[in-house]
Structure 1
Amino acid sequence: MIHYKSREEVETIKEGALILGKAHGEVAKQVKPGVKTIELDRIAEEFIKDHGGVPSFKNYNGFPSSLCISLNENVVHGFPSEYELKDGDIISVDCGVYYKGFHSDSAYTYSVGNVDKEVMQLLKVTKESLYKGIEMAVYGNRIGDVAFAIQSHVEQYGYGVVRELVGHGIGRDLHESPEVPNYGKRGKGPKLNDGLVIAIEPMVNLGTKNVVQESDGWTIRTADRRPSAHYEHTVAIFENGTEVLTTHKFIEENFKF
């Protein structure tokens, strides 16, 4: 069942999303060689709590951290740890905020130091595909239009689009209906109606689309161990326009590419 939101509810989500965006910005300041990923988690959790929010991911189905931190060949759901970032790494930072009864969710993949040009292109194209999807996330379209826009953009570069993991509706629950795949056919799937709030999140691999789950029960990595990129925004769809509720502005102000 799809839960549509009122304008007032979307404004509340947007308030939480601003806290989320600023938390991402604080993390972005510290993404550099030598920093432990567990320190990034501490920074985000502290900022969110200090600003009246609750980290959406912490204790969600037993997940132990406020951030999902996924390095290199890890696609999503990686744990923060004592691992120190190295020159040449890429790192996906996924975060959610629960605020005044509603969740928001966004992700960004960083390059650390000097990253291979082939991998940098993967990041660029995956980020572009997020906005290609958002362009099609308009009233009257269907989920398949969003999915097709993402898939067609990244597959022209020979990249693999992950099938097992998808975007999602979001609101009072972190994961709501409908699912928002990053692959599909135009004109198919649920219709995008007034008040729909969804998290669009391309997960794109440099090589095969296939993934495996690590023994920790959470971390998903590419089957061929080649790098993966992940970007995400929470968006609201209304009859008179679509609004991106989350922001990467504070990341891009604070991170040196």
Structure 2
Amino acid sequence: MAGGSDAVESTTLSCAKCGKPAHLQCPKCVELKLPREGAAFCSQDCFKVSWSSHKSVHSKSISSFAPVNPGEQNAASQNDGWLYCLRKGKARSHELPHFDWSGQLRPYPISKRRSIPDHIDQPDWALDGIPKIEPNSDLQHHVEIKAPDQIEKMRETCRIGREVLDAAARVIRPGITTDEIDAVVHEVTIAAGGYPSPLNYNFFPKSCCTSVNEVICHGIPDARKLEDGDIVNVDVTVYYKGVHGDLNETFFVGNVDESSQRLVQCTYECLEKAIAAVKPGVRFREIGEIINRHASMSGFSVVNVFFSVYPFFWKDIPNLFPYFLPICESGEIVLWSWYWRSLPLCTKYSSLCKK
């Protein structure tokens, strides 16, 4: 970022570094609407020399953002609960975590955990964040053939999940925060009698995942406003009558560029081709091969380091081809290790779409 700055109007502002008349302004300060007096510089050289100390004013400003009204990010007291998420959801901080950022995206502060009414049936991790039945379940060692009553419960739960996701889709627009999307997901899930499965699962702090642009999966809803041209994946899971319904979709925010449209379209096509191949006798790996082949032919690749089923379950699936899910991407991957997010290292967006 330190390589650019915006012209300052003809004023008596002095350079923040040397005191000479200033002709340039830090673009990040302009974006954050910080006072111009501390953001003015006489030259690129002074700007670059000052960067290591000057950039701290940006993180301090961002850490004070909190949406007080829908669609707004205003300065608010840190006592309101808006803090950065650390240690994979276990800790909070007033300070932006240090990381060798690979792109423009940054984590923003998150709001307090949303409450669940007592009458809602809750999974075993709801109170302490630790799944207990799942790691020891027989389902970790074999593939269960579902009975008709189980399938009907799954259908019912997934219908609720679809309604929740549709409600989230209706509010997506430039200027809304992902935390506000999470609030919609939470309230609609509760209204339907369900529990938002991600909430407190291994300490995940929110009721859905919102993965913006280059974030592959498990993005935490926070105070960042969506911008025109973003793509955002909303991943919801509903717990209802003892089963989970999991679905997600990637949405355009305003007007997106052609490359983003191609990426999401390719991901959708991968999913459609995979569904068309599903029938008794088809090997799991054949589905993965279909996805991988179409993504490659379209100029993309698939993310092969994450898998969207139980972490203990996937290793026991017979004939599993590793590239199983339609998550297309372009670029390498790096993990924000203290966080729940997974971020590609470079270039263009990683697809988040598993529609």
TM tier, shorter chain? 0.7 to 0.9
Task: Confirm whether residue 128 of structure 1 aligns to residue 128 of structure 2.
Answer: no
Tell whether the 8 Å contact from 1:75 to 1:230 is kept in structure 2 after alignment: yes
Distance apart, 1:83 and its partner CA: 0.6
1:64-83 matched pairs, under 5 angstroms: 64-83=205-224
Change in 2 beyond 3 A, CA 1:27/1:119: same
Q: Which residue of 2 aligns with 1:228?
A: 350
Distance apart, 1:229 and its partner CA: 1.9
What's the TM-score, normalizing by structure 2?
Answer: 0.56
Distance apart, 1:176 and its partner CA: 6.6
Q: Deviations along 1:159-214, whole A, 9 cap, x unmatched?
A: 1210111233xxxxx66734699xxxxxx7159xxxxxxxx742111x23x32111
Distance 2:202 2:308 in 1: 18
Distance 1:157 1:180 in 2: 31
| Aligned partner letter, 1:111 | F
Of structures 1 and 2, the one scoring higher in RCO (CA 8 A, sep 6+) is: 1
Distance 1:7 1:141 in 2: 21
1:191-230 matched pairs, under 5 angstroms: 201-205=325-329, 207-208=330-331, 210-230=332-352
3-state SS of paired residue (1:230)? coil
Distance apart, 1:136 and its partner CA: 1.8
Distance 1:179 1:96 in 2: 22
What is the aligned length? 212
Question: How much is the aligned-residue C-alpha RMSD, in angstroms?
Answer: 2.1
List gaps (5 residues or longer) in structure 2: 1-140
Distance apart, 1:217 and its partner CA: 2.7
Distance apart, 1:223 and its partner CA: 2.0
Q: Deviations along 1:104-140, whole A, 9 cap, x unmatched?
A: 1111111111111011010011011011111222110
| Aligned partner letter, 1:203 | I
Moved over 6 A (4+): none
Distance apart, 1:16 and its partner CA: 0.6
Tell whether the 8 Å contact from 1:161 to 1:203 is kept in structure 2 after alignment: yes
Change in 2 beyond 3 A, CA 1:67/1:23: same
Distance 1:222 1:98 in 2: 30
Report % sequence identity: 31
Q: Which residue of 1 aligns with 2:313?
A: 177
> Comparing 215-224 with 64-73, which one deviates more in the overlay?
215-224
Tell whether the 8 Å contact from 1:143 to 1:180 is kept in structure 2 after alignment: no
| Aligned partner letter, 2:213 | N
Distance 1:217 1:35 in 2: 22
- 2:179 corresponds, among 28, 35, 38, to 38
Identify the structure with the greater strand proportion. Answer: 1
Distance apart, 1:157 and its partner CA: 1.7
Tell whether the 8 Å contact from 1:167 to 1:180 is kept in structure 2 after alignment: no
> Which structure has the greater CA radius of gyration?
2
Distance 1:107 1:70 in 2: 11
3-state SS of paired residue (1:104)? strand
